[in-house]
Amino acid sequence: MEDRRNLTKRAAAAAGLENGGEEGDTELWKGFDQSFRQVQTVLDRNRSLIQQVNENHQSRIPDNMAKNVALIQELNGNISKVVSLYSDLNSNFSTLFNNHRSPSTNGKPDTPSQR
């Protein structure tokens, strides 16, 4: 698994944002890192849930099989969380990328007539 910091640095380099950003960018990158940490926490929990579901299924004990219903429901909810977190990351990264790629006037992104 790739270190989150390397992933964030690679994303910044790909966007041309690795150096020369504004001070506010540091806070944005910290926010990205926090979001990646949240995603990783949910994915780690999902790994654990999947292991529990598999163990319960292999045991063939009716009570364990019944517990799988709640475990699978939690998995489904966690998948929705991950989708939402990645959607927010995408939106935030796109905004950051567009703000750096577009020359601005008075701190506002330019419009087509300003280009």
Q: What predicted TM-score, i.e. pTM, was given to this entire model?
A: 0.66
**Statement: residue 79 has pLDDT above 60:** yes
pLDDT: which is higher, 29 or 57: 57
d(CA 19, CA 45): 35
Average pLDDT of 38-66? 97
d(CA 87, CA 66): 33
- pLDDT confidence of residue 18: 52
d(CA 93, CA 105): 21
Nearest to 94 by CA among 2, 28, 37: 28
Confidence category of residue 9, pLDDT binned at 50, 70, 90: low
pLDDT tens-place string over residues 15-25: 555 544 555 67
Average pLDDT of 26-52? 92
